[in-house]
Structure 1
Amino acid sequence: MNLKKYFLPYINLTLLYVLASFILRLVLLFHPITQSKFSFVSILKIFSFGLLSDILIFTIASIFLWLYLIFLSETKYNKPWGYLIFGTYITILLYILSGKTILHEYGGVLPMLGIIFVGTKTLLFGTQLFIPKFRKQIRFASFIFTIFLFSLIVIQNALSEFFFWNEFGVKYNFIAVDYLVYTNTVIGNIMESYPVIPLFIGVGLLTTIATYIIVKKSKFYLENLPSFIDKLKIAGIYFILFIVSLNLIPILAKQENSTNIFTNELQANGIYKFYGAFMNSELDFFTFYNTIPESEAYKLVRNQIPEMAENSTLRTIKTDTTEKKMNVVLITIESLSSEYMKMYGSEKNITPFLDSLALQSLNFSNLFATGNRTVRGLEAMTLSIPPTPGESVVKRKDNKNKFSTASIFASKGYQVKYLYGGDAYFDNMRDFFSGNGYDIIDKTTFSEDEITFANIWGVCDGDMANKAIKTMNEEAKTGKPFFNHWMTVSNHRPFTYPDKIDISPNRKSRDGGVKYTDYALRNFFKMAEKQTWFKNTVFVIVADHCASSSGKTELPMDKYRIPAMIYAPGFVKSTNNNKLMSQIDLMPTLFGLLNFEYQSKFYGQDVLKETYKPRAFIATYEDLGYIKDNILTIHSPVKKAKQFELKRIENEKIDADNQIYYEEVLMKNKREDLIKEATAYYQTAADMLQKKKYEK
């Protein structure tokens, strides 16, 4: 019976996928970012469960291969079927050419891709229909192309997973979904970050070799096309495999339950992880997390935030002194981990200016970022709200007219702007900031003579600094105070920048990216000091998130510790504040320094007030962390909670206030009061957003 041989294309491509996945897991296991040791049982689980998962996933993905193979036939060219099929192709092609299809509604390159695909299919089918002597050659070429395409996807995916791990220390997640949306920026980033020509050559060579071997071992299918009855049998067998795979894959995913996050990530299938992230970019808190009665939740938050309303964070912030309507410049620095600065232990001297500025500022040495992406940092600094599961509010449809930093400044008569060296379209920033009262200054507003250097992320921070000074000079002429939020871009792969520092831009290193941003900020402040508005301006400098978020646990503490400072010579005294605090507390603390009186919905608090009770929030898209009393509480789907005791790892070379490394020890006996308190914060934040109680 030849039925088994008809499965050779599927079997051989599956073997290629399994081999590529095995090699990838092996490489990632020994990757420098995989900071963990694995037991024999863990390694066995990683590779055995991983193998089974890969086979099941490829079975699902190969549905397109089977559709192609099933429709390989001689009889479809017989009369009248051949003419009917050819006529259908012609009709579809004309329909797309009419410009009235759903492809045209989406726009972009989709209509052209549709025309190319259907046009090619029409041409090839017509040639085989009307010139039968070319039929076998065209079919063979088509078969080679199909196998080449599948092989290319398999090899390219393995390479992509490697680079994603190299950047984030995990398999595909929500970030990969974002990258699919912002294809142009991401492709540009890859082109500028990696040696793409050698990579393309290598991928092409491997794909060609794989295609040659698979075609050679699978051409029985072409030489002995199955009969209609055989195709029914083949389809039946594949249908059974498809259904079995569909049901087993989620069960296997549940076996990713190790306390070592790297074990789970290595065991997982990247494609399935991508699918999961795509389908669950927004997580409903009330479905996936532990909850408590609403009244109890707000009561617990009220213990931390006095004078709150009964079922809302609404309250009045009062002052007994005169408001100071000073200009405010908020500088959010891309990926500036605390560990890059000298005061936190770095010996690289890559932030000399920021190191000196911190000593002249009100410095916050125990501040944690809410998340691991720029949009989380922007959300925290703009909305002063704990991170809610799924996407940041910045990326959501319901992201406008929120109670925000901008709404406070606007109510005080300030001019409000968001400054960004890239295109604010990226990460939905334009939609979010314009929808919350900000005027936007981004790359699209630059004239050619204002740009000396740019890469895929936008103009360099030096050019943005010059633009910021021009913008603020114009604002100062109006006589109204201004609030400008500037987001830097240079500390980001591909780490290319003007040749202005002692680290060559040809190295494309993160150290260089950090040091160039530091250099650009030094020049910005040099220029600012010469302006008439400088003495009446407060500068808030903070990172958006750390450069990396991967570690042995879901939320490694050092990967969320970021530098933050408020600088205003003659107004703010230089001192260090070591209270545990969150990114969401920084702007309310500034408002306290300015003696602002206002109606507030912020979860963030003025940490300089005696009523403040230290705590911090850190999170990924799914894991919601709450730090208090040297305990890290983590809430995760589905309705899970765990706690870690935080034991500081001392570095004798660093001051006690600046220690950033902790051992996270899983607690067997949980602090239920902290679990409830963490639940209360995240639950009420989700409730406020869901019920539109956080509107302006």
Structure 2
Amino acid sequence: MFKDFRIQEYKVLFYRIFLAYVFYSISRLFFFLYNYKSLKVDSVAQYLDLNYHGLAFDTTAILYLNGLFILLSVLPFVINTKANFQKVLMWIYFICNGIGLAFNFLDFIYYRFTYSRTTIAFMDIVENESNKSSLFIRFIGTYWHVFALFFITLGLWIYLYRKVTVENKNYENKPKYFGYSILGLLIIATMAIGGIRGDFKKSTRPITMIDASRNVTQPQHADIVLNTPFAILRTIGKNSIKKLNLVTDAEINQYLKPIKHYTINPPTKPNIVVIITESYGREYLGAFNKDLKIENYKSYTPFLDSLAQSSMIYTNAYANGSKSIHGMSSVIAGVPSFRDAFTSSPYSKQKIESLVSCLNDLNYDTSFFHGAANGSMGFLGLSNILGYDHYYGRTEFNNDNEFDGSWGIWDEPFLQFMKQELDKKKGPFFSTIFTVSSHEPFLPPAKYASKFPKGDIPMHQVVGYTDYAFKKFFESAKKAPWFKNTIFIITADHCNQVYYPFYNQVVNRQAVPIMIYKPDGSLKGVNNDFAQQIDIYPTILDMIGYHKPFRSWGRSLFNEKEIAPFAFNFNGGLYQFMQGNYICLCDGKNVTAVYDKSDFGLEKNIISKVSKEDFVKLEKGAKSFLQDYMNRIVDKKMYTK
């Protein structure tokens, strides 16, 4: 009766899809092993539970990637069992699944830099790189073990695929063959639709990345539940920046006060230099860690540690994003990035109030320096949107003898180049430099191969090199007439390799330094309050006596009294709001967890123990930030004028 029902074909089809599940689970295990220090799983049982919850996300990714393969396998072509047709199916299967496997393997390495699964925003970063081929070749050399593991895994997958084959068969009763095939197609299509959605309930929306946090106790575990193909597929054409209606305008003004107006300091026009240091996490700077009692702690920044003695430093500061372009928009324009980068959103090309616009308004000469290829990282595009007068990149440096072979011009010569360009300016000037050397492949110039301590992780050696580059820059700058009338702000875009367990805790993975230095010695001290990158913009305007209203979600680190110190960023699929004695997580509409401010690992949810008054402050603060952020961006109200 069922000889024309194609049962053997369906069995082989299900076997092949089953193999995809097997290798997604293998990829998840490898992902965990490569990043186990960051992911912090307590037991085998806990890992297996996370893997189980990940099956729903694996199903969606597998069915998306194998849609064409499944369709061609079940359509009644009569020739489905022929050898040539099966060869075509095999090519389709492994091209699609090979791409998915490759993206999973990508995050074995990339995750340690972003602490999140790669999304479609990754393509925006790659698009802005002019030396893609050379970077790819170098990555193969640096992470050869990942590439080798990828091909071994793919080879095993191909071997197991070929172990079970479809028997060549002629179906004599064509009406039954077509009838049974249509029935099989309807059944499989129904299963596929439910699998892609993540649920067969009509009322349930398709699962998204945020659903990975439903069954985890720690935010970073959502990245184990997820897989990278799912994260990419679910963010294609998606934009999480959407208008919200969570609080009133009065509450936004009370808990956030997005329009700032400082009048305490008299108007002045000092020069301003903002240094955004590539990957320079707070962990590396001794001056920011001396009171933490980290066992066997070593600093790799002797110059910056000495400069900190004559500076105001903020030892509890955080990045507002996880990528370099996030750092630029946060520091210069006070615009953080969360699930989706603002700079990659449909709303990025609008008039944006920033340090650049405000200082241009005061007739400052504004310039941006980045030693990489012009346009790399999207900096040139954003600098044009913000309105910088000048952009200086690898092209303007015009000496590839100082090219590091990977990212750009070495920090030491490029900082000297910036100093020479600043010497030509009449002032006042506002200049920003984004360094490049403290980054993978973690090697200083050959002439300094043995000068800096190699430390405990590769990052330590290049941290030492960039610190030395800063030393040489300040030694030269001190001789310039503009130096004494300049405010220097030093921070980082995001963190990088972690060595000490304290900085491997979830919250501290976004811990960056903020240092403000005035050569006249009038500003020095240590501040342990919450601070963040987006505070730099209003702080500078407050310091120089900018007396006009301006839009800012951050706060001045000096004279702000109405809004308590706080930090806001995105972590593990949830928004993270830190203020007062607490750290709270928000899913975009509701506060889902609250932790003590010292619980950097987010291990003990105390939401039930928080007083109603404190909870309301946290809830209103988080919602006010989110709503004003989303609505201003969508409504294009990023300017007070």
TM superposition score category, shorter chain reference: 0.7 to 0.9
Distance in 2 (CA, whole Å) between partners of 1:227 and 1:423 is: 66
Q: 1:285 to 1:532 in 2, by over 3 A?
A: same
The answer to whether 1:509 aligns with 2:458 is: yes
CA distance in 2, matches of 1:584, 1:274: 28
Shift of 1:199: 5.2
Superimposed CA distance per residue, residues 108-160 of structure 1 (whole angstroms, 9 cap, x where no aligned partner)? xxxxxxxxxxxxxxxxxxxxxxxxxxxx9976764564455356335434422
Separation in structure 2 between the aligned mates of residue 446 and residue 72 of structure 1, nearest angstrom:
62
Q: 1:406 to 1:179 in 2, by over 3 A?
A: closer
Query: Post-superposition shift, 1:333?
Result: 1.0
Q: Alignment partner of 2:367: what SS?
A: strand
Closer/same/farther in 2, CA of residues 163 and 368 from structure 1, 3 Å limit: closer
Cα shift at 1:233? 3.9
Paired with 1:538 and 1:263, the residues of 2 have a C-alpha distance of: 42
Partners in 2 of 1:34 and 1:508 — Cα distance?
15
Return the alpha-carbon distance in structure 2 between the equivalents of residues 159 and 330 of structure 1: 36
Q: Match of 1:486, SS?
A: strand
Corresponding position of 1:81: none
Indicate which of 351, 358, 365 corresponds to 1:408. 358
Q: Residue 543 and residue 59 in structure 1: after superposition, are their counterparts in 2 closer, same or farther (change >3 A)?
A: closer
The residue type equivalent to 1:152 in the other structure is G
Could you tell me how far apart the structure 1 residues matched to 2:339 and 2:148 are? 41
Could you say what secondary structure the match of 1:468 adopts? helix
Check the 8 A contact 2:51/2:225 in 1, yes or no.
Answer: yes
Partners of 2:179 and 2:118 in 1: CA distance: 36
Distance of aligned partners of 1:411 and 1:425 in 2 relative to their CA distance in 1, 3 Å threshold: same
1:520 aligns with 2:460: no
Q: In the alignment, what sits opposite 2:25?
A: 22
> Distance between the aligned counterparts of 1:260 and 1:380, measured in 2?
26
CA pair 473-34 structure 1, distance change in 2 beyond 3 A: closer
1:241 maps to which of 171, 175, 188: 188
Q: Kindly tell me: are residues 34 and 384 of structure 1, through their superposed partners in 2, closer, same or farther at Cα, counting changes over 3 Å? A: closer
Tell me if the contact between 1:380 and 1:583 (Cα under 8 Å) persists in the aligned partners: yes
TM-superposed CA distance for 1:450, in Å, is 5.2
* Aligned 1:149-164 pairs, distance under 5 A: 149-150=95-96, 152-153=98-99, 155-164=101-110
Any conservation in 2 of the 1:12–1:218 contact (CA below 8 Å)? no
Give the structure 2 partner of residue 61 of structure 1.
Answer: 65
Which structure 2 residues correspond to residues 459-478 of structure 1 after superposition, within 5 A?
459-475=409-425
Shift of 1:414: 0.8
Name the residue aligned to 2:440.
493
Cα distance in 2 for partners of 1:451, 1:474 equals 24
* Cα shift readout 1:352-385 (whole Å, capped 9, x = no counterpart): 2211111121222232222222233222222235
The one of 672, 686, 689 equivalent to 2:633 is: 689
Moved more, 533-542 or 571-580: 571-580
Q: Within the alignment, does 1:270 sit opposite 2:228 as a pair?
A: yes
The answer on 1:6 being equivalent to 2:9 is: yes
Partner of 1:483: 430
Q: 1:668 aligned to 2:612?
A: no
Q: Is the 8 A contact 2:484 2:519 kept in 1?
A: yes
Matched pairs, number: 608
3-state DSSP of counterpart to 1:546: coil
- What's the TM-score, normalizing by structure 1? 0.76
- Whole-angstrom CA distance in 1 between matches of 2:87 and 2:265: 82
Q: Partners of 2:265 and 2:429 in 1: how far apart?
A: 24
Match for 1:433 among 368, 374, 383? 383
1:220 aligns with 2:167: yes
The CA distance in 1 between the partners of 2:483 and 2:432, in whole Å, is 16
Q: Give the TM-score normalised by structure 2.
A: 0.82
What's the counterpart of residue 301 of structure 1?
256
Residues 377-386 or 251-260, more deviating: 251-260
Displacement of 1:630 after TM fit? 0.9
The whole-number CA distance in structure 1 between the counterparts of 2:22 and 2:502 is 27
Aligned to 2:328: 378
Residues 284 and 389, structure 1, Cα contact 8 Å, conserved in 2: no
Q: Is the 8 A contact 1:262 1:552 kept in 2?
A: no
**Structure 1 contact 361–568 (Cα < 8 Å) conserved:** yes
Indicate the residue corresponding to 1:318 in structure 2.
Answer: 263
Q: 1:544 aligns with which of 487, 493, 496?
A: 493
8 Å contact from structure 1 (residues 16, 151) kept in 2: no
Task: Give yes or no for contact 2:483–2:519 (8 Å, CA) kept in 1.
Answer: no
Classify 1:166/1:23 alpha carbon distance in 2 versus 1 (closer, same or farther; 3 Å): farther
For residues 536-587 of structure 1, the C-alpha deviation after alignment (integer angstroms, 9 at most, x for no partner) is 2221111122337999999933223321111122153332233333322223
Asked if structure 2 preserves the Cα contact closer than 8 Å seen for 1:420 and 1:442, the reply is yes
Q: Which residue of 1 aligns with 2:408?
A: 458
Offset at residue 329 of structure 1 (A)? 0.8
2:583 to 632, 649, 652: 632
Structure 1 residue 282 corresponds to structure 2 residue 240: yes
Task: Say yes or no: does 1:342 pair with 2:292.
Answer: no
Shift of 1:611: 2.7
CA distance in 1: counterparts of 2:31 and 2:312, whole angstroms: 42
How many percent of aligned residue pairs carry the same amino acid? Answer: 19
Change (3 A) 1:433 1:170: closer
1:402 to partner: Cα distance: 1.3
Quote how far apart the aligned CAs of 1:40 are: 6.7
Higher alpha-carbon deviation: 579-588 or 495-504: 495-504
1:33 aligns to what SS in structure 2?
A: helix
Are residues 272 and 227 of structure 1, via their aligned partners in 2, closer, same or farther at CA, if it must alter by over 3 Å?
A: farther
Partner residue in 2 for 1:84: none
Q: CA deviation at 1:591?
A: 2.9
Paired with 2:534 and 2:173, the residues of 1 have a C-alpha distance of 67
**Structure 2 gaps, min length 5:** 200-206
* The 10-residue stretch of structure 1 (524-533 or 273-282) with the greater mean CA deviation from structure 2: 273-282
Distance in structure 2 (CA, Å) of the matches to 1:436 and 1:384: 12
Q: CA separation in 1, counterparts of 2:466 and 2:138?
A: 18
User: Post-superposition shift, 1:202?
Assistant: 5.2
- SS of residue matched to 1:400: coil
SS in structure 2 of the partner of residue 485 of structure 1: strand
Q: Which of 1 and 2 has greater Rg?
A: 1
Any conservation in 1 of the 2:279–2:439 contact (CA below 8 Å)?
yes
The separation in 2 between residues aligned to 1:647 and 1:602, in whole angstroms, is: 24
Tell me whether 174-183 or 550-559 shows the greater mean CA deviation.
550-559
